[in-house]
Structure 1
Amino acid sequence: MTETIIQTDGLVKSFKGTNVVDRVDLTIRKGEIYGFLGPNGAGKTTTIRMLLGLMKPSAGTISIFGKSLTSSKIEILRKVGSLVESPSYYDHLNGRENLEALRKVLQVPKSRIDEVLAIVRLTKDAHRPVKEYSLGMKQRLGIASSLLGEPELLILDEPTNGLDPSGIQEIRELIKSLPEECGITIMISSHLLSEIEQMATQVGIISKGRLIYQDSIEKLQSKAQHRIRLRVGNGEIAKKKLLPHGHVAEAEEEYIYVEVHHDDEIASVVSTLVKEKIPVYRIEEQRQSLEDIFLDLTKDEEGSYASHSAS
């Protein structure tokens, strides 16, 4: 079984008697890009701050690289790179000088600066003052800073926030390349499902402090309901004609909707309608989008943890 990099059990953070992170059990395995997804205010940044030792949990445990964060904090954090909220830099210095200041603190070889500049594709702009950088370039410099210490785990909090479409694409492609090129496990938070869907291999969805889903992107996509919409002229008549033949349909004016799983089921529905002299004008497949699934999972005021959680 693949090595577990992050494991939390019953993680809780309370403020003034309210659990902003409520019994969260995260499991992130080696080599994954784990998308930590949730609406703004769901508890993502608070969870990340606890994982980085910046905030003490009210309850629960955190294990990283198989060791307790409480007892092995310094040893663990030496192998973790992070970018939480906006990256910090000296805008009067150039990119290389910013990295050199951090390199001295981390005590890593000078050659590492050229390596991380190449990884984030900033080599050509290394001697430009950071104040001349675009927002996307500043984000890439922030990621370069987080990579200086050759981390095994990279934690990124909303790294595409505020970027234009080209900047978002740059950061997305960079993040996707890191596990294979650098052997890094990545945890990335976002409130945008479209971003997580294009980067992550695993996803955890947090809502109102509770982890309501945790599994692969593919499993999440399989939750989508597939149904066939048929334009038949009179939906109510078509619905009644199908029922004796074992086909359950929903009717809406000139349309009927049928949930089907195989092509032969569609063929049977159409054949039945034709035999019953019901005209079929159009057949369309309708898929529930991942966005719809995300909204369905997060709109429940009660969190409904048990019904949506997956191991």
Structure 2
Amino acid sequence: MPFIIIGARAFRVVYGFDRVTLWFDRAELPISEAELEAHCRELSFICGDMKFNPRWKSCISVYQPSPKFFRVLLAALATEIAVCINYVEIARDFVPVLAPRKGVVPPASHHSVADAQVAILHLRDWFLRSAIVGRQHQVVVYSHGDPFYYGRRYEKDGITKSANVFVVYGDKPSKQSGVRLSKSSRDEVPCLHIEWRANGAPVLADLGISCIQDLLSFDFPAFWSREVKLLRVPKQNTALGLLLPGRRNSSSRAYRKRTAALAPEGCNVIVLQNARIANQISASAFLKKLRRLSLQEWCAEVPAMPAKRHRP
């Protein structure tokens, strides 16, 4: 798998589905769980009617499925069994490239797990500082030890999952099947994990997922480019504060304070999305002030990784 250079360090970008829930109009499926488990990280099968919709008799929740999982399932179902996809987690992981103990060392690779941990937190913070996410209209929240959540995880009843939730974290390893790490470091090397959680068949249809074939042909790079805008932002808080709404001709301290107000409660990480929500700035207004970047351009503009990094 090729790697890219971000902030003078090497990373692999891995796409996939973290979780998919599929419902069927039959209580029994013409394929065994064992045949499907060979192509995913974890699988659970539930026989029982969908709440409020008795047409759907059973469901499968699959974690980190490979493309072959969907091909095998599609072939088994043929055209006789109807399928309803009602929950999907779409993931993009930035995985550090570790220098091997022997052999050729890739350029800009990370020298140790600790080195990779520092780099991932730096990359996470820059992503939060420079990304605008569509379909989200709540302030980004953070709780120590938890991911950054764009959008409410649940509706007001506290039970129903929200239609669209965007999640960012950088303290866990990648679970995607495309990641290849040594056995000793697999559970230690964190990744920058970016995830879109979509709940409900109509919501998924709006994202281009209505059937198993859509999962097989899903264009991950196009999805992320469409839903998450990466912008060229100033590296200094004073310069960023100048671009935010507020009284002009203020002091440098006032501009820095304006930028600092974008950090969620409980941490000191600047989250650009909060400027859009708190100040009611449209995405198009940001695009007029801050140039939109492709993923490759954004990677090239991430500042060099620091020698040391403290958690928020």
Give the helix-richer structure, 1 or 2: 1
Higher relative contact order (CA 8 A, sep 6+): 2
**Who wins on radius of gyration, i.e. which is larger?**
1
Task: Normalising by structure 2, report the TM-score.
Answer: 0.24
